[in-house]
Amino acid sequence: MERKSYTKKEIDIIKCLYPDHTTRYIADMLGRSERSVFAKASAMGLRKSTEHIQRINRDSFNNLVKSGKAYRFQKGHTPANKGKKMSPETYERCRGTMFRKGHKPKQTLYDGAESVRTDKNGHRYIYVRIAEGKWIPKHIQIWTKAKGAVPDGHNIIFRDGNTLNCVLDNLECISDSELMKRNTIHNLPVEVQELIHLKAQLTRTINSTIKSKNHERT
């Protein structure tokens, strides 16, 4: 069967509607098959818009939620086997596939194992397992071993800003107020940040010089 060529008007319709409408909608409008419209749009280099794809995914999810509602257990549902013990015959049939007491999955990690986790702000940190079900940030572990417990109202930060660089030389203990001050500085223009850092460096140098002179006098 000879294929019907697309007219200029049909091509203009596809070009206009394809990114934000379903292929079925356009096919019905043109009296053509979805497959034909899809092939023509692909040949024209057309793609569905991000907004359209998100809308389709959202609609599909909502439809799935609605269609599955009738098959879900309702709140307060009581399982049919609640309070019933497994019969000896059933137990024998299932015993070969049961987990034994103390069984642990193959992917269970050992003490000292490390895992990278991302917090709610998108920052990545290395965590270390110190006991079953207990993990602590690696930078806190390293600081505690070398310097002792972190004082209340203080935080361990990374000098170079790399939260995965947990070597001791890259860690610094600062107070909550200092942390807030530094976070505020980061929101300022780069030029202003540099001036603030230079001022802080100059202040430290002056204080160090004064302290040294006072020491010499004594």
pLDDT digits (tens, 9 = 90+) for 148-169: 999 999 999 998 889 999 999 9
What is the residue range of 205's domain? Answer: 188-218
**Higher pLDDT among residues 177 and 187, named by residue:** 177
Boundary-marking domain end, from 36, 51, 67: 67
β-sheet bridge partners, residue 158: 171
Measured between alpha carbons, how far is 62 from 60 in angstroms, rounded to an integer?
A: 6
Mean pLDDT in the chain? 85
Is position 115 within any domain? no
Q: What are phi and psi of 130, to 5 degrees?
A: -110, -15
Measured between alpha carbons, how far is 98 from 103 in angstroms, rounded to an integer?
A: 10
Is position 59 within any domain? yes
Boundary-marking domain end, from 67, 98, 115: 67
Is position 209 within any domain? yes
pLDDT at 212 > cutoff 60: yes
Is position 57 within any domain? yes
Is position 93 within any domain? no
> What is the pLDDT at residue 1?
45
> What is the pLDDT at residue 179?
85
Q: What is the pTM of this model?
A: 0.43
pLDDT at 88 > cutoff 60: yes
Q: What is the mean pLDDT of residues 99-114?
A: 80
Number of structural domains, the chain? 2
Boundary-marking domain end, from 67, 82, 102: 67
Is position 207 within any domain? yes
Cβ–Cβ under 8 Å, residues 145 and 126: no
Measured between alpha carbons, how far is 92 from 24 in angstroms, rounded to an integer?
A: 55
- 105 pLDDT band, cuts 50/70/90, is confident
Is position 74 within any domain? no
Cβ–Cβ under 8 Å, residues 144 and 150: yes
pLDDT in tens, 53-73: 998 888 888 888 888 888 888
Is position 25 within any domain? yes
